[in-house]
A = this chain, B = another copy of it.
Amino acid sequence: MGASKTENFTEKQNATAALLKALGHPARIAIMEYLLKTNACICGDIVNELPLAQPTVSQHLKELKNAGLIKGSIEGNAICYCIDDKAIQKIKQYFDAFNIKIEKKKSCC
């Protein structure tokens, strides 16, 4: 098949999975970490930071953007990318809640 049966899971489960899937590639982790490391948005420059060809980087940026993890704004003939705080917060909250429930359990295995 190759296609996930998303219709059988909750909206929330699908949304969570989509966010994490977008981060589930080393290049996209590297992009996020690079955007974080620099103290402002990055115009250009991302391609030179990564060991991948320009079209490949562009594709990864698109995926991160589709997932809502980054924003891009046009700045002359370059494009400024930066992290969308809200998406990261959503993920953080998810794992915070998850972790609290784990700690309450205390446990078997």
Residues on A lying within 8 angstroms of B by beta carbon are: 4-6, 8-9, 13-14, 16-18, 20-30, 32-33, 36, 39-41, 51-52, 71, 73, 80, 82-83, 85, 88-89, 91-92, 95-96, 98-99, 101-102, 105, 107-109
A102-B80 in contact (CB<8A): no
Copies of this polypeptide in the complex:
2
* Interface SS of chain A: helix
User: Measured between C-beta atoms, what is the minimum distance from A107 to chain B in Å?
Assistant: 7
Q: Which 7 A-B pairs have the closest CB atoms?
A: A21-B24, A8-B51, A9-B26, A24-B24, A92-B95, A17-B26, A20-B24
Given contacts A4-B26, A20-B24, 18 further A-B contacts (CB under 8 A): A4-B27, A5-B26, A8-B51, A9-B27, A9-B30, A13-B30, A17-B28, A20-B23, A20-B29, A32-B98, A40-B105, A41-B108, A71-B109, A73-B109, A82-B107, A82-B109, A88-B95, A89-B99
